[in-house]
Amino acid sequence: MAKEDAAGILRFHHFLEKMGNVESNSSYQKHLLRFLPDEQANIDAVFGSLCGVDDAIAAKAGKTAKKGAHVKNALPESMVVRLYDGMKSIQLTEKSPGLNAPVGKEQFVVFMSVLLKGNAEEKRGIIMKMISKAGGSVKGSQILEFAEDLVGSVVHVLSHRKELNGWNPKNMQNSSAGVKALASQLISELKSADGKRIEGAQVLDATYDEGSIEDWVFQVPQISTFLNVIVQQGLLILHSLPDQGRDVLQLLPECKGIKGNRFVSLLDIPSITYINSHLPSELQHEWKLLFASRLHGESFTQLCGHIVNKGPCVLVLRDADGYIFGGFSSCSWEVKPQFQGNNACFLFSISPALGVFTYTGYNDHYMYLNHGQQTMPNGLGMGGQHEYFGLWIDGNYGKGHSKAKPRCTTYNSPQLSANENFTLDAMEVWAVGGLPESATGKGQKSILDVNPEAQALLEMVGKSRLSDGLRVPDEDGDNNNSE
């Protein structure tokens, strides 16, 4: 790290040795009044602790604080430098403070006001300085570095603050590749200074001005959400006040259904946040593991037994070439020879690139699940048409296809797998938003629930479940059989 960056971190940790007194500044007052009294007290406490002042300020908020305790190890150094550069870019008087001057309280308050309460127009100047403190236009490569720092810092701070909502890194893929993939996806929405959308590698060489950044922040809400999480969880600004934790809740759903360390998901933290952000808002709060091929067996009957009538689901697959992709089913899966679902369904790619592909309006071939038929295809499919699905898992299990050249008619998705016909390496299915009441059985299990293969066979032949009246208590309070 450069000496000037190290100096920036030092100044950030020791924000102030003498409090600046410009509280009469009208612009400063406008920003200060955006915060409620208890929010102002919280900001005072955090600023005081960062400055190393005595505990009097912190006591106003009912908390004690130690110098630098809020930022120590909570954020990567690269993000600390960017935050410092953003604060230093704020000028409330005609006289510009020297480069070596500490961050003043007014700069700190305005910075928090803009990031937490401001609109895209207000944020663009500060974010430009966080991308490059030199000012002026920036290159796409610089924005990509900022985006990678942004995503990486969110993963870091949530892990450090133990705010992963039950997701255990031991049960997940390493987030390094996911950080780069999500950062690349975020900058794919950029428009150059002349207002044109640029695709491919040319994005990194193009030039972007403040107008480009404003449009980017407006079009990509994750930018503001990630900055909020970094500030609120990294510096502990407003994080404990009522209604201030919503960004974190919406960012990472609660994880349920995983026991022990035998299961390692195909997902990582960045991919979960990305897919979750595209779900209907009422389904963003909880993911529960229903099926994992490594736990429940590589069997299509087992798959059906674990996912039928369990509400909306996220399916994730990995082919033998390492490509990871899947789909969101907005309704419960049912075994029947007709298409099902609605236009909230979508397909997605995780690796080698992140992407979500939504309904085109061309047809209503959203979801398909069938088994044991001689005249209709047997398997699980999403999008396209019979024999040419955007995503297909064969009823014999282990094989599938993604025949979407040039694009899937239902979702406009490209070929998701490495090869059009692929070998399935692993699969997992997550129920999202909680199970529907009709599937929960009010916290009790049927005798057949412990044998999903038998359950699925009954579904396939259209038999009713006579044992539904013979239910046994579920220790977990649900009907999920995941391990």
Backbone angles phi, psi at 388, to 5 degrees: -140, 60
> Any idea which residue has 């006040």 for tokens?
241
Amino acid at 212: S
- CA–CA separation, 388 vs 370, rounded Å? 15
Q: Is the pLDDT of residue 355 over 50?
A: yes
Q: What's the mean pLDDT in 102-114?
A: 91
What per-residue confidence (pLDDT) applies to 241? Answer: 64
What per-residue confidence (pLDDT) applies to 71? Answer: 67
Q: Among 54-68, 105-119, 386-400, whose mean pLDDT is lowest?
A: 54-68
Q: What is the pLDDT of residues 304-336, one digit of tens each?
A: 999 999 999 999 999 999 999 999 999 999 999
What per-residue confidence (pLDDT) applies to 197? Answer: 84
Burial class (CB in 10 A: 0-12, 13-18, 19+), 393: buried
Higher pLDDT, 71 or 208: 208
What per-residue confidence (pLDDT) applies to 169? Answer: 92
- CA–CA separation, 47 vs 238, rounded Å? 12
Q: What's the mean pLDDT in 256-277?
A: 93
Q: Is the pLDDT of residue 477 over 50?
A: no
- CA–CA separation, 421 vs 12, rounded Å? 54
> Average pLDDT, whole number, for the chain?
82
Q: First and final CA of the chain: distance in angstroms?
A: 45
Higher pLDDT, 389 or 198: 389
- CA–CA separation, 327 vs 381, rounded Å? 10
pTM of the model: 0.82
